Structure 1
Amino acid sequence: MDSNKGKMGNGDAVWDRFVQGDESCFRRLFKIHFDSMYGYGIKLCSRPELVRDCIQELFKTLWERRDELEHIESPNVYLFVSLRRKIITRQKAQRKLDGDLEEVDEGKFTQFAREEIIIKDEVKFQQKEELKKALNQLSDRQKEVIFLHFYNGMSYREIEQILSINRQSVRNHIYRGMETLRSILDTEIMKLVISLLVTFLLFV
């Protein structure tokens, strides 16, 4: 998606300088990506401390292995993929330590909170509640794809890489998710949904 290029263009330049060993760019890279990575991570496991720890560990590893990262074409995708893997690995390790034999659900994606869809003051409280409930009726994978695409400006290709699914599956999840919303919401609120999601894409 071209809308993401403007946002990530500067980030890519910072990445290149970080790879060359610029510590100030390394700190800036952390600042640029932390909020979006934390927002995604908290959806995967709902444990703020674990997510923060994983992000900190990931950036520590990035600095230590920066000489190996020149080949990375999309820093944004690399960071999201790495964070996803690290969180799942940590969850599995914790369960093993606790003696919990239940498998970690790698496709689990937590619910949307109302504050995540508030971007227009004129949106009524009741409409926000209905929209939140509708979004949370989507499957975990539909929610994750919509979150990555509309909330983080990820292209289909980037989502394909992050979730290790083909591009048609990405399209299908978005299409079916929107169809589910249309079946739940009345016309007025559905127009609001489209307006909100388009706004996310424009200003992400």
Structure 2
Amino acid sequence: MRQQLEWDDQSMWDGLINGQQDAFTALVMHYTDVLYVYGMRLCQDEELVKDCVQEVFLFMWRRRAYLQQPASLKFYLMKAVRNKIARDLPKWQMKGQPYENEFNFSDFIIELEEHQDAPPAIQRQMKAYIDQLSPRQREILYLRFYEGIKQQKIAEMMNLNNQSVYNLLRNALAALKEKVDYEALIAHLCWLVYLTSAVMNF
């Protein structure tokens, strides 16, 4: 059996499709924490999130002969967990109920390329600003800048069109810029410049 360190996305996927138990185990070990963290941001019901993550993995194993290889395994899994949570929460099962959640950004860590030593007070202030955004704006910020997922994939994951994702992201950044106060101006501007430069890479 190969050691876990030798597994990458392609080898885990190939092994899964071929029914290799060790490949499936490696996939579960590699992505469980990522999916759990994302699921808990969508829904604060820990047991529900754990069940949904487990069900996604079990579905993949049982239906492995019929799966089509995704362009991104991480994106595929995150979308599957998101959809599973949406289906299992009763309030989202109401006909015509739009998807909207209280996306949790409470433990989001602001990472600056050249300003990682920003004071905790500034980080808390930015978190407070982010908390004032809509749930969808918070989720888009998380997916784009924390998970590094591109605009087109975010649109697919959230069942939105590309323009809606662009508008939500642009409005979120504009709202953050309006709330920057004098004391945190330099640190926040550096962070916003970093975000804006990332937007240009869509």
**TM-score bucket of the superposed structures, by smaller chain:** 0.7 to 0.9
TM-score, normalised relative to structure 1:
0.79
Aligned to 1:40: 38
The question of whether the paired residues in 1 share the 8 Å contact of 2:35 and 2:81 is answered with yes
Aligned to 1:106: 99
> Over residues 9-63 of structure 1, what are the superposed CA-to-partner deviations in whole Å (9 max), with x where a residue is unaligned?
9323321221121211111111222222112111111112211111011111110
Deviation at 1:196, TM superposition (A): 7.2
Letter of the 2:44 counterpart: S
Aligned to 1:64: 62
Q: Unpaired runs of 5+ in structure 2?
A: 1-6
> Over residues 144-176 of structure 1, what are the superposed CA-to-partner deviations in whole Å (9 max), with x where a residue is unaligned?
111111111111121111011111211111111
Deviation at 1:197, TM superposition (A): 5.4
Paired with 2:81 and 2:44, the residues of 1 have a C-alpha distance of 14
Paired with 1:157 and 1:142, the residues of 2 have a C-alpha distance of 15
Q: Are 1:150 and 2:145 an aligned pair?
A: yes
Higher relative contact order (CA 8 A, sep 6+): 1
| Structure 2 CA distance for partners of 1:174 and 1:87, relative to 1, 3 Å | same
Paired with 2:14 and 2:195, the residues of 1 have a C-alpha distance of 31
Deviation at 1:195, TM superposition (A): 7.1
Deviation at 1:68, TM superposition (A): 0.8
Aligned to 1:116: 108
Letter of the 1:131 counterpart: M
Aligned to 1:73: 71
| Structure 2 CA distance for partners of 1:16 and 1:92, relative to 1, 3 Å | same
Aligned to 2:160: 165
Higher percent of residues as helix: 1
The question of whether the paired residues in 1 share the 8 Å contact of 2:173 and 2:192 is answered with no
* Correspondence 1:12-51 to 2 at 5 A: 12-51=10-49
Point out the more displaced range, 10-19 or 133-142. 10-19
The question of whether the paired residues in 2 share the 8 Å contact of 1:77 and 1:161 is answered with no
Q: Unpaired runs of 5+ in structure 1?
A: 1-8
Aligned to 1:83: 81
Identity of aligned residues (%): 28
Q: Are 1:183 and 2:181 an aligned pair?
A: no
> Over residues 95-125 of structure 1, what are the superposed CA-to-partner deviations in whole Å (9 max), with x where a residue is unaligned?
99xxxx8x97622132311x42155762212
Aligned to 2:3: none
Deviation at 1:77, TM superposition (A): 2.6
The question of whether the paired residues in 1 share the 8 Å contact of 2:56 and 2:81 is answered with yes
Aligned to 1:6: none
Please report the RMSD computed on the Cα atoms of aligned residues, expressed in angstroms.
3.0
